[in-house]
Amino acid sequence: MTTTLTVPTTTTGADPSATGSAADRPAGSGTIEIRGLGKSYDGERYAMRGVDLTVEPGELIAIVGASGCGKSTVLRMVAGFEDITEGSIHVDSVSVTAPSPEHAVVFQDYGLFPWLSVAENVAYGLKQRRLPRAEIRRRTAEYLDLVGLGRMAASYPHQLSGGMQQRVAIARVLANRPRVLLMDEPFGALDALTREQLQGELIQIRQRVGTTILFVTHSIQEAVFLADRVVVMAGGLSHGGSGHIEDIVRVPFGQERDVTGAEFNQLEREISSLVHGKAAA
C-alpha cells in the first residue's frame, strides 16, 4: 500500500459543518470506560481478563493481537452481545448491559438484508425506532451521501461490490448516530485495493462525523494507518492463560501517514514484536 492520506492526530473535533454528526452531541460524548474486564465462557477459565481501557471522545483505537487473545470478545462485550463475567463497561457513564444502536457494530460480513434495497437497509433501524418518516428519509439520504452511495439507493445488495456493501453497512450504523462505532475486522473480506480505498474513506467519514471508533483488526499496518492508539493484546486460552492488554502504543504521526515511510515501518515492527512476544527490532 502506498497511500498517503490526511489523518487527524487529535480528532475530538468533528467537522462542525457536518449535519447530524457526533458534533451535535454535548462535548465529552463517546467515552468508553472499560474497567477490570474479564470473560469466562465456561465458568472456569478466563478467555480474557484484567482489561482496562479508556477511549476518549472522537478517538480511534485499534485492537490487534494474535488469534484467540480476546479482541472480538472485548468488542462484543462493548457492543452488549456478551454478558460481562467481571468488571464493567460504560459508554458515556451508562453501563453496557445489552445491544443498543448507541454502540453498534460493523462486522466483516456486512450483514445487509438481501431483500431490502440499499436505502431500505439504511432506513431499517430508524424505522424500528419509529423515527418520523421525513427524518428517516433525510437521514437515509444524508448517510448514503456520506459513504458516496447516494445514487445507489434503489439498488439491492447483490448488485453491489463487497466494498459498496460494506459502505452501506457503515451508513446503516452511522444513521443511528451512535455514541461509539465498533468495527470487527470490517475490511477483512475485501481485496487489497478495495481495503485500501475503504481505509481512506473511513478516515474521511471520521473527519465528518467525529464518532469514537473501536476497531479490531489482524493488520498491524491498518492499525498504524488508522488509529490514534493501538491496543496490543496477547495471551489467551490456547497459550494456557487469559488474553490481556500487553501494551498500548500511541501513534505519534501527524496528519500525513505514509505506509512506506521508515518511521511508519519501524512502528509496525515494534508493534509486531509486541504481538509476537519478541524484543523490539
Ligand X SMILES: Nc1ncnc2c1ncn2[C@@H]1O[C@H](COP(=O)(O)OP(=O)(O)OP(=O)(O)O)[C@@H](O)[C@H]1O
Distances (CA, A) of 154 to 87, 111, 118, 135, 157: 45, 18, 6, 18, 10
What's the CA gap between 91 and 57, in Å, rounded?
10
What's the CA gap between 231 and 277, in Å, rounded?
14
Site for ligand X in 73-92 (CB under 6 A): 73
Binding-site size for ligand X (CB under 6 A) equals: 14
Site string for ligand X, 177-216 (x = CB under 6 A): ----------------------------------------
Number of residues written out for the chain: 281
From 169, 236, 246, 271, residue interacting with ligand X (rule: CB under 6 A): 236
For residue 219, how far is the Cα from the chain centroid? 13
- Closest to ligand X by CB, 152 or 182: 182
Quick check: 38 binds ligand X (CB under 6 A)? Answer: no
Closest CA to 179 of 10, 9, 32, 13: 32
Report H helices in 80-191: 118-128, 133-146, 162-174
From 7, 23, 32, 47, residue interacting with ligand X (rule: CB under 6 A): 47
Residue pair 213/8 in contact (Cβ under 8 Å)? The answer is no
Output the smallest distance, CB 64 to ligand X, in A. Answer: 9
Quick check: 41 binds ligand X (CB under 6 A)? Answer: yes
Output the smallest distance, CB 63 to ligand X, in A. Answer: 8
What's the CA gap between 80 and 257, in Å, rounded?
33
- Closest to ligand X by CB, 65 or 157: 65
Output the smallest distance, CB 115 to ligand X, in A. Answer: 28
Which DSSP category does 219 fall into?
A: -
From 38, 57, 58, 65, residue interacting with ligand X (rule: CB under 6 A): 65
Output the smallest distance, CB 195 to ligand X, in A. Answer: 17
Quick check: 10 binds ligand X (CB under 6 A)? Answer: no
Which listed range, 20-28, 67-75, 161-169, 203-211, lies at the site for ligand X (CB under 6 A)? 67-75
- Closest to ligand X by CB, 14 or 69: 69
Side-chain-side CA neighbours of 241 within 13 Å: the count stands at 9
Q: Please report, as ranges, the residues that interact with ligand X according to CB under 6 A.
A: 41, 47, 65, 67-73, 236-238, 243
